[in-house]
Amino acid sequence: MKIMLVSVIVLLTGLGVVAQTTSDRPNSPTAASVSGTSLMTAAQFQALLSKPADYRLSYGTDANQFGELRVPSGIGPHPVAVLIHGGCWRAEYAKLGELGPMGDALKAKGIATWNIEYRRLGQAGGGWPGTYLDVGRGVDYLRSIAVQNHLDLSRVIVVGHSAGGHLAMWVAARPRLPKNSLIYLRDPLPVRGVIDLAGIADMAAFIPFEKSCGTAVVEQMLGGTPAEVPEYYAQTSAIRMLPLGVRQTLIWGRRDQVFPISLGEKYVQTAEHAGDPVRRVSIPEAGHFEIANPFSAAWPTVEGEILSLLAKRP
């Protein structure tokens, strides 16, 4: 027990966090939403409770260009996890509130979170190029709020779930965009690494499985098929932009029935071949939503990977 306690203290000290009070910890959901052997549903995931964010800040003029900032107690500087929600890139499916519980959990560990909203399919400007421009600008907006909120911009990672995992991987890849790309932004904020929670790194490869999103969502997102707009697929798929040059951890539930784990396995093999530092973590009894649920049995594994990426370096 003493050895375990010392290990935890060393890890948290290396991260540069402080202990949080009970009031900083996330609310617990009802037992029915996280227990039992059946997989968590989207409705159960979206019903998880969270505390209000500390700040809601706009990074643009559109109603969907904003983020929610949670800042731990203490003087900082605080490491930052940018959170990007999923939902098949469709406005009708999800919004940033579903990652609020994750933001609460990370705040309780001394990590600031910047949970960004963005324009999605079904909204003016959603899809190519607007969704990607929103995400890029949302991440870069951290420069504007870092000083007053004591954020450590040398320790920024991106955590994305599902379709948000795709966008998180793209954030890490975007420094490799050609300058003539419609989604190129000058001087993107460097990130230390990415936690991809069952997200897609190859848009073309996902097309055979997109029925899980209820429609031809990839073609809608990018404005055509791979044959019609090949450059858009190349500029949004991390697998086509390797090497990324940052640490990448892909976490998947072995029982995922939404985004097949085989897509993650293929990416890891390709990234390793390109020389990137990449890890694949599979959680045997988890599905698509458990890995983003801080009340689930899968969360300690996910949290550990986040802490590892953000730990202070010698």
CATH number at residue 191: 3.40.50.1820
Cis check: omega of the bond before 300, within 30 degrees of 0? no
Cis check: omega of the bond before 26, within 30 degrees of 0? no
Q: Given a cut of 90, is residue 33 above it in pLDDT?
A: no
Q: What is the mean pLDDT of residues 87-105?
A: 96
Tell whether 122 is covered by a domain.
Answer: yes
Helical pair 163-173 and 130-140, crossing angle rounded to 10 deg: 70
Q: Given a cut of 90, is residue 79 above it in pLDDT?
A: yes
- Residue-wise pLDDT for 141-163, tens only, equals 999 999 999 999 999 999 999 99
- Residue-wise pLDDT for 204-244, tens only, equals 999 999 988 989 999 999 999 999 999 999 999 999 999 99
Please give the single-letter amino acid code of residue 282: S
Tell whether 2 is covered by a domain.
Answer: no
| 313 confidence band (pLDDT: 50, 70, 90) | confident
User: What CA–CA distance (Å, rounded) separates 32 from 311?
Assistant: 34
Tell whether 84 is covered by a domain.
Answer: yes
Tell whether 25 is covered by a domain.
Answer: no
- Cβ pair 45, 293 in contact under 8 A: yes
Tell whether 27 is covered by a domain.
Answer: no
Name 192's Cβ contacts closer than 8 Å, sequence gap at least 6. 154, 155, 156, 157, 246, 247, 309, 310
Domain assignment of residue 296, given as a range: 36-310
What pLDDT was estimated at residue 312?
80
Tell whether 23 is covered by a domain.
Answer: no
pLDDT > 70 fraction of the chain, expressed in percent and rounded: 88
Q: Given a cut of 70, is residue 22 above it in pLDDT?
A: no
What pLDDT was estimated at residue 314?
63
- Residue-wise pLDDT for 48-65, tens only, equals 999 999 999 999 999 999
| 130 confidence band (pLDDT: 50, 70, 90) | very high
Q: Given a cut of 50, is residue 280 above it in pLDDT?
A: yes
Average model confidence (pLDDT) for the chain?
90
pLDDT > 90 fraction of the chain, expressed in percent and rounded: 85
| pTM passes above 0.85 | yes
Of 27-41, 231-245, 252-266, which has the strongest mean pLDDT? 231-245
**What is the number of other CB atoms lying within 10 angstroms of the CB of residue 310?**
26
Q: What are the structure tokens assigned to 56, written together?
A: 């809601």
Tell whether 26 is covered by a domain.
Answer: no
Q: What is the mean pLDDT of residues 263-271?
A: 96
Beta-carbon-side half-sphere exposure of residue 246 (alpha carbons within 13 Å):
29
User: What CA–CA distance (Å, rounded) separates 167 from 201?
Assistant: 9
Rg (CA), the chain: 18
- Cβ pair 124, 161 in contact under 8 A: no
Tell whether 253 is covered by a domain.
Answer: yes
Domain count, the chain: 1
